[in-house]
Structure 1
Amino acid sequence: MEIGLLLVLGGVAGWLTTVAGLGGGVFLILALSLRMSPAEALALSSPALLVGNLHRWAVGRDDVDRRIAVPFALGALPGSALGGLVVVAMPTAVLQLLLVLTSALALARAVGWWLPRPPPAAALVPAGAAIGAMAATTGSAGLALGAILQSAGLTGATYVATAAATATAMHVGRLAAYGFGGLVTGETLVRAAVLALAILAGNLAGSRFRRGLSARTGARIELGVLFACVVLALVGMA
Structure 2
Amino acid sequence: MRLLLLVFLLLSGCGQASRADEIHIAVASNFAVAARQLARRFEMDTGHEVSLSPGSTGKQYAQIRHGAPFHAWLAADSRRPEQLEREGRIQPGSRFTYARGRLVLWSPDPELVDARGEVLRKGDFRHLAIANPRLAPYGLAARQLLQKLGLWQVLAHRLVQGENIGQAFRFVRSGNAELGLVAASQVLPGSGRKNGSFWVPPADLYEPIEQQAVLLRDNEAARAFLAFVAGDEGRAIIGANGYQLP
TM-score (norm: length of structure 1): 0.27
- Between structure 1 and structure 2, the one with the greater Rg is 2
Structure (1/2) with the larger strand percentage = 2
Higher relative contact order at CA 8 Å, sep ≥6: structure 1 or structure 2?
1
Where is the helix percentage greater, Structure 1 or Structure 2?
A: 1
